[in-house]
């Protein structure tokens, strides 16, 4: 059998973890997590990592294997995940990947665009400029340097804005000139499964998950991370809002409502990303697992 990676995608709180474990048990394989925040060992509650019982039901990789103090990005994950898959495919020709981070999924399945290394001082200076002069100044700078990227990225996202600018400034080429170049082919086939639900159901699941996280100690987890709140890993829904609570900006009830609202917005963005991929086979989140297995097996 040709090596095949089954990837399970969908919005947060839709049930990806439960399905991945059932499939791993059926196919006798292991699970690669590509959730960009579940890598971090200090962020267990707010990232909804699989619990001990779930982890015991199937071998998982890239769960809480890094510290928030480490500089880890999607390019490094692509390399690490491909190396791990080469190792796992020697055990079984079928493996599973699961996660809602679309960029990280694409990195493993398709490969990333190559960008040159640039002087880290450029990013530092752009960050200072953002803080002192505001995002509009950086937006206008990108518009002057690379109108194609200006028109194609979320220019209200300071991280993406600075990333594009640092490449323009550091390489003296446009960010867009590095995009969509041929990438190395993968040595495995890909089957993509998506889970979906009506918006009202999905939002209710998100609200319930946030309440469970708070009951499980999210507030206490965030309090321990206050000295590190400037780190990139912690610029995440569920953590930012509670940092604002501890700073006195929000009441606790308002912070919880903001977590729910921002998580719903995040889920909407996930849905937009994945719906663009016409190769995903979609199932209702309550679909019988036997039907999912039958559909997957027909693809081999």
Condensed to tens digits (0 to 9), the pLDDT of residues 56-99 reads 999 999 999 999 999 888 889 999 999 999 999 999 999 999 99
Q: What is the pLDDT of residue 157?
A: 82
Ordered by start, the domain boundaries in the chain are 4-112+183-297, 120-178
Please tell me the distance from the alpha carbon of residue 123 to that of residue 287, in angstroms, as a whole number: 46
Four-CA torsion 157, 158, 161, 163, nearest 10 degrees:
-120
pLDDT tens profile 237-246: 999 999 999 9
User: For residues 286 and 115, which has the higher predicted lDDT (pLDDT)?
Assistant: 286
* 120-178 CATH pick, 3.40.50.150, 1.10.20.140, 1.10.10.10, 2.40.160.20: 1.10.20.140
User: For residues 149 and 153, which has the higher predicted lDDT (pLDDT)?
Assistant: 149
C-alpha distances (whole Å) from 298 to each of 6, 47, 175 are: 13, 34, 41
The pairing of strands 4-10 and 31-33 is unpaired
Q: Which two tokens stand for residue 119?
A: 């002087």
Q: Which two tokens stand for residue 118?
A: 């640039």
Phi, psi (deg, nearest 5) at residue 43: -120, 55
Spell out the residues 6+ positions from residue 209 whose beta carbon is closer than 8 angstroms to its own. Answer: 12, 13, 48, 263
The answer to whether domain 4-112+183-297 has CATH 3.50.50.60 is no
The pairing of strands 31-33 and 94-98 is parallel
pLDDT range class, residue 292, cuts 50, 70, 90: very high
Write down the pTM of the prediction.
0.84
């Amino acid at each position: 059998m040709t090596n095949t990676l089954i990837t399970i995608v969908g919005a947060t709180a839709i049930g990806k973890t439960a399905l991945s474990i059932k499939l791993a048990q059926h196919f006798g394989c292991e699970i690669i997590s590509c959730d960009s925040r579940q890598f971090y060992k200090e962020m267990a509650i707010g990232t909804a990592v699989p619990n001990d019982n779930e982890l015991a039901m199937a071998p998982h990789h890239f769960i809480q294997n890094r510290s928030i103090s480490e500089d880890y990005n999607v390019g490094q994950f692509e390399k690490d995940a491909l190396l791990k898959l080469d190792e796992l495919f020697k055990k079984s020709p079928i493996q599973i990947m699961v996660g809602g981070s679309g960029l990280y999924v694409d990195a493993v399945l398709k490969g990333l665009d190559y960008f040159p290394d640039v002087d880290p001082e450029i990013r530092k200076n752009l960050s200072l400029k953002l803080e002192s002069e505001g995002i509009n100044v950086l937006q206008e700078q990108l518009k002057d340097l690379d109108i194609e990227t200006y028109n194609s990225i979320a220019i209200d996202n300071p991280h993406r804005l600075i990333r594009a600018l640092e490449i323009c400034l550091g390489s003296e080429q446009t960010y867009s000139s590095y995009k969509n170049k041929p990438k190395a082919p993968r040595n495995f086939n890909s089957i993509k499964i998506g889970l979906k639900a009506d918006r009202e159901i999905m939002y209710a699941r998100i609200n319930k998950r946030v309440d469970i996280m708070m009951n499980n100690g999210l507030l206490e987890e965030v309090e321990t991370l206050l000295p590190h709140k400037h780190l990139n890993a912690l610029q995440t829904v569920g953590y930012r809002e509670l940092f604002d609570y501890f700073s006195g900006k929000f009441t606790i009830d308002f912070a919880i409502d903001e977590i729910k609202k921002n998580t719903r917005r995040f889920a909407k963005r996930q849905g937009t990303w994945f719906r663009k991929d016409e190769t995903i086979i979609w199932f209702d989140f309550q679909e019988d697992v036997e039907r999912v297995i039958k559909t997957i097996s027909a693809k081999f």
